[in-house]
Structure formats: structure tokens, C-alpha cells
Structure 1
Amino acid sequence: MVSAPTEEPAIIRTERGLTIAGTRITLYDLMDYLKVQYPQQLISEKLGLNHDQIRSALAYIETHHIEFEAEYQECLQTAKEIRQYWEDRNRERFAKIAAMPPKPGQEVLRAKLQAWKARIEA
């Protein structure tokens, strides 16, 4: 009698894309950190992943490099389009808010904010 493998896959496809099993972390999240050359230990800490999860994700990316890279680029393009949509949609609203006069009674708060901004820009 042959027993069926009981090991669960480390990488699964969800509505969010390729995801590390048991987490909400996508391989695209991991790839963002890899592209800016974060060390694996820091990625592990930032994303709350253990060594085996990182190793499995990297192995998957390496094994399916061409397909994954195409999917990752598509994901980046979609994110860019969404960001552009919301910037365009909110541009007029943000301009309107910026043009509003300050609320009465917040002069001290505004002065502190302006001083803080000046200190940052200097």
C-alpha cells in the first residue's frame, strides 16, 4: 500500500496571488524586500516569517523564476495603475483641502507644525 504525501504545500495561490501558506504574506511582498537587497534575517523579522517559510518561498521563486517574474511585473503594473487612479481622483480634493483657511483656535498648533516642517527641510 502506498501512502499519500501529507505535507502541505508551502506556497499557495489565493485571491491575493502567490501566498506563503498559513500567512497573508504574498511572494510579491517578499520580492519587494529582495529587490532592495534586504538580508533574509531582516525580511523574516519584518514579515513575521520563520526560516523554513523564507527558504520555501525563495526555492519557489528560483524554481519558477520566469513565470514568477512575469507575474511580479504584472502585480507592480497593477499597483502603479491603482495608485495613479487614486491620485487623479483625489487631486482636486487635496487641493481644496490645502486651500482651506486654518480653523480658529489652532494657531499655536499650526505654528508648531510650521516650525517642525522648517526644521525637517533645513
Structure 2
Amino acid sequence: MTVIVDNQPVITRTERGLTISGTRITLYQLMDYIHANYPRRLIRHQFYLTDEQFDVAMSYIDAHYEEVELEYQTVLQQAEEIRQYWEERNKERIAYIAKLPPKTEYQSAWQKLLSRKAKRAAINQ
């Protein structure tokens, strides 16, 4: 679905989802800020959008809120699934790296860190 303003498409569906034409900004990125209760003026300045781009994007979101919200929730769910997949996949690798001894070239820095941790622990007791 594309919204046409003055013979120029402003909201376009791409492989990334509903996108503001001429940018890589998706409506889902705007929805993140809307859900965080950011003022509209701040959202516009955060993404460096023109008044026309921002007004068309917000009017599209307002006019098709249920549709955009449903897609937004789907995007959030997919992002969480991807995050969990990579977290699980890298769990063993991260545990292995955590058990490695420090490299010899970092030995003096490591000793300083351990001594400062010991001092801090002594102060906090």
C-alpha cells in the first residue's frame, strides 16, 4: 500500500515493512517512540524528517492505527525471537570466552583491575 501526495509516494511497503519514501525509516521505528510517549516534535527531530514526511507518516499511522499496530507487534515478536535464537546459540561461546585466562599482553592491566576490585570490596565491607 502506498500513500500518494502530490504525485510522490510517501509511505511505501518495502522488504523492511512500511517505509517513508526517500528514507530508510520505517513506521515501526516511529511506533517505538510513540509507545514511549515521546512528543511528536521530538520524534520528528530524532529522525531528521521534513514536516511533510512526518505529517504524512503520522496521518497514515493515525488513519490505519490497528493495521500498523498489528504489524508493529509482529515485528517486535520477530525481533525477540531472533534475539533469543542468537543468545542461545552464543551461550556456550560466551561461557568459554569468560573462562579464558587474560592475554599476556594485558596481564599488568588485569592485575590493576583485580587490585582495584579488592580495594573497592574492602571499602564496601
Query: TM class, shorter-chain normalised?
Result: 0.7 to 0.9
SS in 2 for 1:13: strand
Query: Larger C-alpha radius of gyration, 1 or 2?
Result: 2
The residue number in structure 1 matching 2:98 is 98
Find the aligned partners of 2:115 and 2:52 in 1 and give their Cα distance.
Answer: 48
Find the aligned partners of 1:49 and 1:105 in 2 and give their Cα distance.
Answer: 48
Structure 1 counterpart of 2:98, which letter? A
Inter-CA distance 106–25: structure 2 relative to 1 (3 Å threshold):
same
5+ unaligned residues in a row in structure 2: which ranges? none
How many percent identity over aligned positions? 50
Find the aligned partners of 1:114 and 1:24 in 2 and give their Cα distance.
Answer: 48
Find the aligned partners of 1:6 and 1:53 in 2 and give their Cα distance.
Answer: 12
Q: How many residues align?
A: 114
Q: Would you tell me which structure has more strand in proportion to its own residues?
A: 2
Inter-CA distance 114–73: structure 2 relative to 1 (3 Å threshold):
farther
SS in 1 for 2:8: coil
Inter-CA distance 16–99: structure 2 relative to 1 (3 Å threshold):
same
The residue number in structure 2 matching 1:76 is 76
The residue number in structure 1 matching 2:15 is 15
How far 1:51 sits from its partner (Å)?
Answer: 2.0
The residue number in structure 2 matching 1:109 is 109
How far 1:107 sits from its partner (Å)?
Answer: 3.0
Structure 2 counterpart of 1:69, which letter? E
What TM-score results when the alignment is normalised by the length of structure 2? 0.80
How far 1:72 sits from its partner (Å)?
Answer: 0.8
The residue number in structure 2 matching 1:50 is 50
Query: Matches of residues 30-45 of structure 1 in structure 2 within 5 Å?
Result: 30-45=30-45
SS in 1 for 2:105: coil
The root-mean-square deviation of aligned C-alpha atoms, in Å, is: 2.4
What TM-score results when the alignment is normalised by the length of structure 1? 0.81
How far 1:41 sits from its partner (Å)?
Answer: 2.8
How far 1:114 sits from its partner (Å)?
Answer: 8.6
Find the aligned partners of 1:41 and 1:86 in 2 and give their Cα distance.
Answer: 36
SS in 2 for 1:11: strand
5+ unaligned residues in a row in structure 1: which ranges? none
